[in-house]
């Protein structure tokens, strides 16, 4: 029998006590014979308590089923390395990186096993945290419905340095004067990597054919936007954002929000991160982004878009409760229980935001932004949030709309609000929200709407000027009738025996004529007034009949035959009555002027309405005049294009603007079966 002292005598126990790794010796039966100071600190048992104990029983080594296999391996090969799960004296689980080695006697016989080990519990927890963090950001950006590009900007940087070295002071002016240089810089900017959404948006399914330069994706008209992004980078700005036009590899142009980020650490490497959001097709597919955690976090932090990460686990619980109650349609439930919207807001908790969010919402640090989203929504204006949770309840991966949100200081911010939460993210209680500041865009849009309204009003007033004779005739008719009936009434009253019955009848006629004159003046005042458009549900045929009232005398004066072919019982439309009348009168006046100029023998104007399909109706204005010259067909709706000597060229462009604002379309052509022009207006109906 081997003496324990023989096993431990040559271990150099004094030295082993100084080593920071756990070292203990056990015999072939597993009994612990030696236990150093580091083992006491790691496992919590003193040497006296541990020695003599069976090691695997004392330490509860796991996996238990594999211990015999590990023992066999060390005895056959002389060593074993691996990880063991154990329990210390305090009952805590620890993960040990262990190394077993055989102890041999002078004759080479196995007499025991030495184990060295160290605690890797904290290290493994850190590794798992990093993996989870990477998974978190990978999922976030894989789910983003946005195009991301990683570009090599190195050559462009060198080109800019050479420009400064050659004496160029004003880089922006130099780019304006030399657009070909900007195109050369585009060709020098190489695409290193793109995500699948980029391939879907710009390409034809082949990622490799897009890993060239960026020049094919920039139309000539957008050259200066690229130049401005270079100026932003040179000026050491952190980001640049601009709405512009980009181009697919097949040459199709589309409106896009172009964003570029310039973090210093990337710029030193000549790396540029670019994001593109398609503004013309806002139902983009959500694609995966195969990039590292650093790249995703860099994008999250530096992108010029406000990003929010929400914990939606509370909202998930509310949804689960509703489904248990049998609620199929959240919209119907909210109609009956409107308080649910604020309840859902309280259950949607902000857990992270990027730097752009802090700037946009006036926060000093992230802590100010964390918590329920309720305070960022304007009371009474919850429609966008409501629609987003309804989409989530239906299982949709995203939602996008324009809305207003509220900053910490109470400011109202116009944003493009989008939510991204594919099923796998929402199941983990993760939702990504983006807010793009569109305040300037909304202001510009309002200014444009105001200018268009002013222009339409000026056009109506001008059109009324052209119809002065008709208007005067329309007003004079009831006024003349009033005067005639008044004179007759006086004569009846001046008789020795006044005829009260006759006077009564004449008075009734005078009142009717006065009302007719009032109606005419009201129509003219409405057409001449300058007020905001008011869309109401109305029948198209009534609008046509009202518009024709303005033209009746003009038609008679020019001997134009009017034919109304109005299909009865058409579905109603939603439109501004005055603007739609303006379109009809404008088209009719153009037709009459064209026929008069061509001295058409028997001028005829036909206005007809008909149903196109279940969701749209058509208005046709046709004449039998000279028609439209083929060279003018493509230019007819261009602003300031006119074939009249005294025309402004704004009538038809205004007609197109009005029709398109109603969701319709207008086309011009020539009659297929005879002479004359033909204008077709299609309008959506109200369901």
CATH number at 610 reads 3.30.565.10
> Of 21-25, 439-443, 518-522, which one has max mean pLDDT?
21-25
* pLDDT attached to residue 284: 40
| Alpha helix positions (H), 143-246 | 154-165, 171-177, 179-188, 196-202, 223-234
Q: Give CA separation, 404 vs 96, 445, 477, in Å.
A: 55, 15, 53
CATH of the domain at 295: 3.30.450.20
Query: Do 490 and 552 reside in the same domain of the chain?
Result: no
Evaluate if residue 182 carries a pLDDT over 90. Answer: yes
**Does some domain include residue 240?**
yes
* pLDDT attached to residue 91: 92
* pLDDT attached to residue 368: 92
Tokens 């704004």 -> residue: 650
Q: Which of 373, 406, 437 is the last residue of a domain?
A: 437
> Pick from 680, 681, 667, 657: which is nearest to 455 by CA?
657
Question: What is the distance, to the nearest Å, from the Cα of residue 558 to the centroid of all Cα atoms in its chain?
Answer: 54
| Alpha helix positions (H), 60-120 | 64-77
* pLDDT attached to residue 386: 93
Rounded distance between C-alpha atoms, residue 54 and residue 74, angstroms: 18
Rounded distance between C-alpha atoms, residue 370 and residue 353, angstroms: 8
Rounded distance between C-alpha atoms, residue 198 and residue 147, angstroms: 5
Rounded distance between C-alpha atoms, residue 73 and residue 80, angstroms: 7
Cis upstream peptide for 279 (omega within 30°): no
Percent of the chain with pLDDT over 70: 80
* pLDDT attached to residue 421: 81
Query: Do 215 and 227 reside in the same domain of the chain?
Result: yes
Evaluate if residue 379 carries a pLDDT over 80. Answer: yes
Mean pLDDT of 230-239: 88
Mean pLDDT of 488-510: 75
* pLDDT attached to residue 435: 87
Q: Which of 386, 418, 437 is the last residue of a domain?
A: 437
Query: Do 402 and 462 reside in the same domain of the chain?
Result: no
Contact between 105 and 28 (Cβ < 8 Å)? no
End-to-end CA distance of the chain: 99
For residue 555, what pLDDT band results from cuts at 50, 70 and 90? confident
> Pick from 290, 279, 263: which is nearest to 356 by CA?
263
**Does some domain include residue 500?**
yes
* pLDDT attached to residue 1: 40
Query: Do 62 and 25 reside in the same domain of the chain?
Result: yes
Contact between 319 and 393 (Cβ < 8 Å)? yes
Evaluate if residue 279 carries a pLDDT over 50. Answer: yes
Residues 206-225: pLDDT tens digits? 989 999 999 999 999 999 99
* pLDDT attached to residue 110: 81
Evaluate if residue 292 carries a pLDDT over 50. Answer: no
Query: Do 229 and 84 reside in the same domain of the chain?
Result: no
For residue 90, what pLDDT band results from cuts at 50, 70 and 90? very high
Mean pLDDT of 236-265: 89
**Does some domain include residue 127?**
no
> Of 390-394, 466-470, 476-480, 579-583, which one has max mean pLDDT?
390-394
> Of 130-144, 452-466, 546-560, which one has max mean pLDDT?
546-560
**Does some domain include residue 50?**
yes
Evaluate if residue 11 carries a pLDDT over 60. Answer: no
Evaluate if residue 5 carries a pLDDT over 80. Answer: no
Beta partners for 114? Answer: 25, 101
* pLDDT attached to residue 188: 94
* 674 φ, ψ (degrees, to nearest 5): -175, -175
Evaluate if residue 291 carries a pLDDT over 50. Answer: no
Q: Give the Cα-Cα-Cα angle 6, 7, 12 (nearest 5 degrees).
A: 95
More confident residue, 442 or 188: 188
For residue 289, what pLDDT band results from cuts at 50, 70 and 90? very low
For residue 597, what pLDDT band results from cuts at 50, 70 and 90? confident
Taking each helix axis as running N to C, give the angle between helix 223-234 and helix 179-188, from 0 to 180 degrees, rounded to the nearest 10.
Answer: 70
Total number of domains constituting the chain: 5
Beta partners for 403? Answer: 415
Query: Do 683 and 575 reside in the same domain of the chain?
Result: yes
Lowest mean pLDDT among 295-304, 404-413, 489-498, 501-510: 295-304
DSSP string, 324-354: HTT---HHHHHHH-TTHHHHHHHT-EEEEE-
Q: Which of 74, 93, 119 is the last residue of a domain?
A: 119
Q: What is the mean pLDDT of the chain?
A: 82
pTM above threshold 0.75: no
Query: Do 451 and 557 reside in the same domain of the chain?
Result: no
Residues 105-153: pLDDT tens digits? 778 788 889 999 999 888 888 777 766 665 665 554 445 557 888 899 8
Evaluate if residue 485 carries a pLDDT over 60. Answer: yes
Residue 642: in which H helix or E strand, if any? none
For residue 476, what pLDDT band results from cuts at 50, 70 and 90? low
Query: Do 385 and 460 reside in the same domain of the chain?
Result: no
Evaluate if residue 320 carries a pLDDT over 90. Answer: yes
> Pick from 503, 478, 481: which is nearest to 493 by CA?
503
* pLDDT attached to residue 371: 93
Q: Give CA separation, 236 vs 149, 226, 233, 273, 455, in Å.
A: 20, 16, 5, 14, 43
**Does some domain include residue 125?**
no
* pLDDT attached to residue 524: 60
Query: Do 551 and 664 reside in the same domain of the chain?
Result: yes
* 276 φ, ψ (degrees, to nearest 5): -130, 130
* pLDDT attached to residue 349: 94
* pLDDT attached to residue 377: 93
Kindly give, in sequence order, each residue whose CB lies less than 8 Å from that of residue 159, ignoring residues fewer than 6 positions away.
181, 184, 185, 188
**Does some domain include residue 44?**
yes
Mean pLDDT of 537-560: 84
Query: Do 161 and 271 reside in the same domain of the chain?
Result: yes
Evaluate if residue 13 carries a pLDDT over 50. Answer: yes
Beta partners for 103? Answer: 112
* pLDDT attached to residue 285: 34
Query: Do 587 and 514 reside in the same domain of the chain?
Result: no
Evaluate if residue 181 carries a pLDDT over 80. Answer: yes
Contact between 117 and 42 (Cβ < 8 Å)? yes
Mean pLDDT of 628-650: 71
Residue range(s) defining the domain that contains residue 509: 439-532
CA atoms within 13 A on the CB side of 547: 25
For residue 639, what pLDDT band results from cuts at 50, 70 and 90? low
**Does some domain include residue 11?**
yes
Evaluate if residue 280 carries a pLDDT over 60. Answer: yes
Rounded distance between C-alpha atoms, residue 570 and residue 67, angstroms: 85
* pLDDT attached to residue 520: 57
Q: Order the strands of the 665-670 sheet from edge to edge.
A: 561-566, 604-613, 616-623, 677-684, 665-670
**Does some domain include residue 624?**
yes
Evaluate if residue 624 carries a pLDDT over 60. Answer: yes
Query: Do 404 and 426 reside in the same domain of the chain?
Result: yes
- Give the CA-trace dihedral at 599, 585, 556, 483, to 10 degrees: -150
Rounded distance between C-alpha atoms, residue 51 and residue 35, angstroms: 7
Q: Which residues of 599-631 are buried (b: 16+ CB within 10 A; e: fewer)?
A: ebeebbbbbebeeeeeebbbbbbbbbbbbbeee
More confident residue, 512 or 320: 320
């Amino acid at each position: 029998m081997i003496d324990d002292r023989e096993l431990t005598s040559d271990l150099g126990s004094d030295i082993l006590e100084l080593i920071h790794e756990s070292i203990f010796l056990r015999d072939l039966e597993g009994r612990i014979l030696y236990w150093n100071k580091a083992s006491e600190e790691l496992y919590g048992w003193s040497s006296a308590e541990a020695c003599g104990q069976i090691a695997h029983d004392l330490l509860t080594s796991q996996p238990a089923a594999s211990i015999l296999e590990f023992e066999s391996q060390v005895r056959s090969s002389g060593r074993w390395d691996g990880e063991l799960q154990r329990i210390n004296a305090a009952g805590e689980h620890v993960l040990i990186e262990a190394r077993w080695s055989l102890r041999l006697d002078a004759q080479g016989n196995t007499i025991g096993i030495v184990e060295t080990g160290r605690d890797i519990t904290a290290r493994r927890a850190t590794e798992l945290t990093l993996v989870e963090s990477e998974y978190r950001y990978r999922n976030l950006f894989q789910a983003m419905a946005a195009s991301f590009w990683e570009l090599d900007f190195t050559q462009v940087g060198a080109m800019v340095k050479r420009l400064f070295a050659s004496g160029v002071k004003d880089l922006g002016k130099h780019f304006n004067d030399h657009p070909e240089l900007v195109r050369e810089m585009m060709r020098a900017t190489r695409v290193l990597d793109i995500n699948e959404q980029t391939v879907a948006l710009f390409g034809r399914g082949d990622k490799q054919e897009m890993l060239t330069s960026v020049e094919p994706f920039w139309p000539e008209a957008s050259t200066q936007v690229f130049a401005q992004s270079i100026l932003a980078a040179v000026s050491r700005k952190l980001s640049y954002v601009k709405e512009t036009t980009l181009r697919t590899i097949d040459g199709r142009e589309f409106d896009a929000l172009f964003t570029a980020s310039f973090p210093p650490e990337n710029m030193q490497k000549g790396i540029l991160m670019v994001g593109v959001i398609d503004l013309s097709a806002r139902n983009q597919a959500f694609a995966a982004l195969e990039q590292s955690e650093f790249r995703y976090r860099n994008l999250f932090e530096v992108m010029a878009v406000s990003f929010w990460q929400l914990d939606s686990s509370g909202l998930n619980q509310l949804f689960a409760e509703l489904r248990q109650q049998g609620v199929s349609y959240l919209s119907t439930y909210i109609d009956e229980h409107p308080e649910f919207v604020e309840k859902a807001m309280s259950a949607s908790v902000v857990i992270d935001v990027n730097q752009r969010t802090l700037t946009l919402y006036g926060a000093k640090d992230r802590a100010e932004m964390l918590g329920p989203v309720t305070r960022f929504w304007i009371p009474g204006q919850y429609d966008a949030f409501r629609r987003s949770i309804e989409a989530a309840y239906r299982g949709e991966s995203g939602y996008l709309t324009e809305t207003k949100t509220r900053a910490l200081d109470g400011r109202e911010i116009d944003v493009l609000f989008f939510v991204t939460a594919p099923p796998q993210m929402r199941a983990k209680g993760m939702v990504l929200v983006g807010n793009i500041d569109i305040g300037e865009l909304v202001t510009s849009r309002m200014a444009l709407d105001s200018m268009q309204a002013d222009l339409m009003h000026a056009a109506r007033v001008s059109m009324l000027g052209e119809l002065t004779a008709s208007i005067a005739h329309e007003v004079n008719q009831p006024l003349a009738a009033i005067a005639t009936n008044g004179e007759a009434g006086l004569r009846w009253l001046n008789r020795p025996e006044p005829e009260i019955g006759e006077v009564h009848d004449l008075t009734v006629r005078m009142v009717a004529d006065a009302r007719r004159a009032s109606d005419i003046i009201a129509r003219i005042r409405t057409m001449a007034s300058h007020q905001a458009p008011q869309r109401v549900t109305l029948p198209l045929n009534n609008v046509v009949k009202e518009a024709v009232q303005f033209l009746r005398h003009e038609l008679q004066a020019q001997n134009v035959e009017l034919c109304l072919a109005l299909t009865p019982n058409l579905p109603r439309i939603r439109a501004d009555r005055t603007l739609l009348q303006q379109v009809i009168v404008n088209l009719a006046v153009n037709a009459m002027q064209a026929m008069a100029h061509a001295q058409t023998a028997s001028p005829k104007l036909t206005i007809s309405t008909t149903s196109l399909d279940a969701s749209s109706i058509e208005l046709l204005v046709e004449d039998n005049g000279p028609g439209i010259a083929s060279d003018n067909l493509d230019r007819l709706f261009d602003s300031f294009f006119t074939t009249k000597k005294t025309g402004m060229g704004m009538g038809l462009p205004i007609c197109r603007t009005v029709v398109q604002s109603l969701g319709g379309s207008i086309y011009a052509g020539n009659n297929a079966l005879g002479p004359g022009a033909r204008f077709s207006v299609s309008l959506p109906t109200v369901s």
